[in-house]
Structure 1
Amino acid sequence: MASDRYIDFANTDFGRRLVAAVGLPAPARLERWQAGRLRPVEGSLLISPGPLADQVRSFAPRITDLLFSFGGEVPSDNPWIEGQGPKLKAVVFDASAFSRTEQLSQLRAFFQPILRSLDPCAHIVILGKAPDSLNDPLAASTQQALEGFTRSLAKELRNGATAQLVQVDEDAENQLEGTLRFFLSPKSAYISGQVVRLSPYAETVQDWSRPLAGRKALVTGAARGIGAAIAETLARDGAEVVLLDVPQAKYDLEALAARLGGQALVLDICAPDAAVQLSEHLPSGLDIVVHNAGITRDKTLANMTADLWDAVLNVNLNAPQVLTQALLDSGALHDNGRVILMASISGLAGNRGQTNYTASKAGLIGLARALAPVLKARGISINAVAPGFIETKMTADMPFALREAGRRLSSLGQGGLPQDVAEAVAWLSQPGSGAVSGQVLRVCGQSVIGA
């Protein structure tokens, strides 16, 4: 991967002064999860009043040692007072009870004083309700306003801070802990300005140190890059991993599988008998399927040959469709399983010279949305993860100007790492993440593309 020399320079003493003097962006080095870390939040957590916030307070001591409330509004918490309280590493604001426009003024009153008191790489989560779950048009309108606020707030934050909106349906409160453990921690370092909806789901994580213990996961395209990072992260979280890739990647695949204590499976997912071969290699079935394998064959449509078109659509879209259906039909994908499809922000926004690629990635998003209600009865969730500019060998080989543009065109002002995508996949693979289904989670630093 190419080094991001601009970030290296902008974070030196001289670089900071020069960047500030000429008004250039100054992206911060993002804090990411590291082995040995014990708490999701290592610093102060500020929680507003509110009905969902009360739920958060019940498990907050498992997330952080330092809990505060705004101005001492909650007597059981330490009071946080502007100019006197500590720097804040994490913030939870409960807007779930907002039903009228005048209540939105609480957003300004709460957030304005704290914006200059955030630690580097702080994480903010606003809690709300899905507008389409509300019968009152004014309440629905008010809740929809939270999305615009959250996305704009995320663009105003500095020093690597992020903001998300989590919409919590009735009876989905039991999934708040897993969601906040992810979005308030460095595991979500490269995710910002996103909206996630939690629906009722009974299953929860039993061991937060190994949330995927006892689960078996298949990762396609696992030999290197993002796929390898996903395999490593799932194994870190306790999953038994089956790593799949093409014959050309056999050496790297087997080496990674040996290191992770997993199983290597050399298979062309576009082969006519791929589904049969897969079932034969997985007699005990699976709990998690990550469709990461993908290719690009870029040409403008005027110059796109049928071979280039078909190759991308077959690998990126048809193979996940066929293999997912085969695993469902055979029962190889267990009840309460997880399916994660690797989409792309270009599948949301389009991209010149990639009509085949963007069609395939948009198709994966459509697959997640279409299958989610069908799979609900079995407790199976299906979601798409849409990476933005991720620092890989492929992006390192891009022309300099395109690579720099890709890095800077986001609120966080830099490219992400394969680990960032892997952490999102690992969260969506957890038992409690069955509360999230049919959704698209962008891992893009709040890229302006597809916004």
Structure 2
Amino acid sequence: MTNQYQKLVNTGLTKKIAKQLGLPRPAVLRRHAAGAPLVPGPVVVLGDGASAQPTADLLLGWGLDVLRHLPPGRMVGAVVVAYDDVARPGDLADVALNLGPAVKSLVPGGRVVSISRPAGDGKDPELAAARQGVDGLMRSLGRELRGGATANGLLLAEGVDMGAPSAQAALRFLLSGRSAYVDGQFLEVSDGRGKLPEDWEKPLAGKVAVVTGAARGIGASIAATLARDGATVVAVDVPAAGSALARVANDVRGTALQLDVTRADAGHLIIEHATQRHGRLDIVVHNAGITRDKLLANMDEGRWKSVIAVNTESQLRMNQAFLAAGLPGLRVVSLASTSGIAGNRGQTNYAASKGGVMGMVRASSAAFADIDGGINAVAPGFIETEMTARVPVATRAVARMVMPSLMQGGLPVDVAEAISFLASDAAAGVNGETLRVCGQSLIGR
């Protein structure tokens, strides 16, 4: 849905008036466009961590203009901060104080990405304090940036360095327009698995992807984005959505499968359709979901059970079928929600179902790794869809401008971009994670 307020405060005379009155001015976000530069300007790499020079060399290999120090008056498109060698809280100071001037030089839509290591359990307290300090630093910085710029972090597990394909792919994602609505978040690369694409514009070339709940909204956008990135798409939705589903499938030159995902044999039917029509199954996106909102005091059994059945139990059953089939390299991405992280009034059943999805993803990661695949979740915040258009106007205005750091709702394509990244072979080292696509909403972390 178009945010008319955003247009008004960023164009013409109304832009000048909004500035004079001090009104909130949500920026126009830098999103992916075919052929556009990866970063809108030079990239400055700060810090002396072990990842600093390898990262600079990597960026040079991508054809970017790379600086190790910021010359006075130079504007930059991104800042990468190597914090992977911090051992005590005092180690944060030098790089953080150099980061300040660099942030002032960021162009609109710029990116700040830190590279560090997880604090983890059982670590020396001083080391853990330093590593967790990077977390607080970057999340706070995300709230200070303007002009649609974002701040995110890349976490490298012990033994993983910037030579790992998934570390490179994650850095590229966070620097690019594909991460427009990802802000104040950390992506952990847990192992060195992954395969870089021959063409970064077609990272899913040759793959067959299933998208459930594909007839409209976020699901239709996911189908379109995966197809854009090279995948052959099987669009799945309930028979009642058959006409809309057929349009989506035709638009992406894929096939349609009318199917209620709560059927006991849904997973088997998906495998059968994908393999018989397209010869393989590489990616499954669990997007199908419903809401039946009520305060818990007024909740009935039907509302509760139907939401859990569609949003959580169907995914569990289908995943069991996929694992039993031993589909090599299968990558699964599930739709969670920020409601499942921090809760939401009137959504106890929905929040329980989406919290369940995140628990399922963590617990299933080892099983999917055993077939050289992976499973992750994406947790959207306030996304402009037909459903959110029915939310009262005042509530929508607050959700857009007050709750997220970016002062606006996201678009379905923002969710789809994150899913396409996590579905790629290049992201194989990211497993069991939940990535928030929420514009750094104030809800939870």
Do both proteins adopt the same fold according to a TM-score greater than 0.5, normalized to the shorter chain?
yes
Deviation of the 1:62 alpha carbon: 4.1
Candidates 271, 288, 295, aligned match of 2:283: 288
| Alignment partner of 1:341 is 2:340 | no
TM-score (ref. length: structure 2) = 0.94
- Which sits farther off after the overlay, 232-241 or 55-64? 55-64
Q: 1:231 to 1:45 in 2, by over 3 A?
A: same
Query: 1:412 — aligned with what?
Result: 406
> Is the contact made by 2:285 and 2:333 (CA closer than 8 Å) also made in structure 1?
yes
CA distance in 2, matches of 1:428, 1:97: 27
Q: Give 1:200 shift.
A: 1.7
The 3 A distance-change label for structure 1 pair 202 and 384 is closer
Q: Distance in 2 between matches of 1:164 and 1:362?
A: 23
State the Cα distance separating 1:279 from its structure 2 match. 3.1
SS at match of 2:78: strand
Cα deviation for residue 339 of structure 1 reads 0.8
Any idea what the Cα deviations from partners look like across 1:134-185, whole Å, max 9, x if unmatched? 7433122101110000100000111111001111122342233211211001
2:264 is aligned with 1:275: no
Q: Does 1:368 align with 2:361?
A: yes
Residues of 1 paired with 2:324 and 2:185: CA distance?
Answer: 33
- The answer for the alignment partner of 2:372 in structure 1 is 379
Report the AA paired with residue 147 of structure 1.
D
Q: Secondary structure, in 3 states, of the residue corresponding to 1:352?
A: coil
Return the alpha-carbon distance in structure 2 between the equivalents of residues 219 and 16 of structure 1.
40
Deviation at 1:81, TM superposition (A): 1.6
Work out which of the residue numbers 314, 320, 323 in structure 1 matches 2:318. Answer: 323
Residue 191 in structure 1 maps to residue 182 in structure 2? yes
Q: Secondary structure at the match of 2:432?
A: coil
| Residue in structure 2 matched with residue 74 of structure 1 by the alignment | none
Note the C-alpha offset of 1:266: 0.6
Q: Given the alignment of the two structures, is residue 155 of structure 1 paired with residue 153 of structure 2, yes or no? A: no
Q: 167, 174, 193: which is aligned to 1:176?
A: 167
Q: Once superposed, what is the RMSD of the aligned Cα atoms?
A: 1.6
Distance 1:307 1:134 in 2: 45
- Number of equivalences: 436
Which amino acid in 1 is paired with 2:380? P
Who is 2:71 aligned against?
A: 81
- The alpha carbon displacement at 1:252 in A equals 1.6
Task: Please report how far the alpha carbon of residue 384 of structure 1 lies from its aligned counterpart in structure 2 after TM superposition.
Answer: 1.0
Q: Any conservation in 1 of the 2:29–2:109 contact (CA below 8 Å)? A: yes
Question: For structure 1, which segment, 322-331 or 100-109, has the greater mean C-alpha deviation from structure 2 after superposition?
Answer: 100-109
User: In the alignment, what sits opposite 1:309?
Assistant: 304
What are the superposed Cα offsets for residues 386-437 of structure 1, whole Å, 9 maximum, x if unpaired? 0001011111121101111111111000000011000000000111211111
Q: 1:202 Cα deviation (Å)?
A: 3.0
Quick check: 1:223–1:249 contact (8 Å CA) kept in 2?
Answer: yes
- Identity score, percent: 42
| Distance change (3 Å), C-alpha of 1:448 and 1:135 | closer
The residue identity in structure 2 corresponding to 1:310 is K
What is the DSSP-based 3-state SS (H/G/I as helix, E as strand, rest coil) of the residue aligned with 1:243?
A: strand
- List runs of 5+ in structure 1 lacking aligned partners: 71-79
What is aligned with 2:227?
A: 235
Supply the AA of the counterpart residue of 1:28.
A
Distance of 2:63 and 2:292 partners within structure 1: 47
Cα distance change, pair 123–134 in 1 and its aligned pair in 2 (3 A): farther
Farther-moved stretch of structure 1 (58-67 vs 118-127): 58-67
Name 1:61's counterpart in structure 2: 60
Provide Cα deviations, 1:235-261, integer angstroms capped at 9, x if missing partner.
111111111011111112112212212
Counterpart position of 1:76: none
Aligned partner of residue 378 in structure 2, secondary structure = strand
1:70-109 pair list within 5 angstroms:
70=69, 80-82=70-72, 84-85=73-74, 87-109=75-97
Residue 23 of structure 1 deviates from its aligned partner by 3.3
Partner deviation per Cα, 1:311-354 (whole Å, 9 max, x = no partner): 111111111111111111122xx322211110000110111111
Query: Deviations 1:7-29 (Å, cap 9, x if unpaired)?
Result: 11211344344334443322111
* Aligned 8 A contact 2:40 2:107 in 1: no
1:185-208 C-alpha deviation (Å, 9 max, x unpaired) = 110000000011112233312312
SS in structure 2 of the partner of residue 261 of structure 1: coil
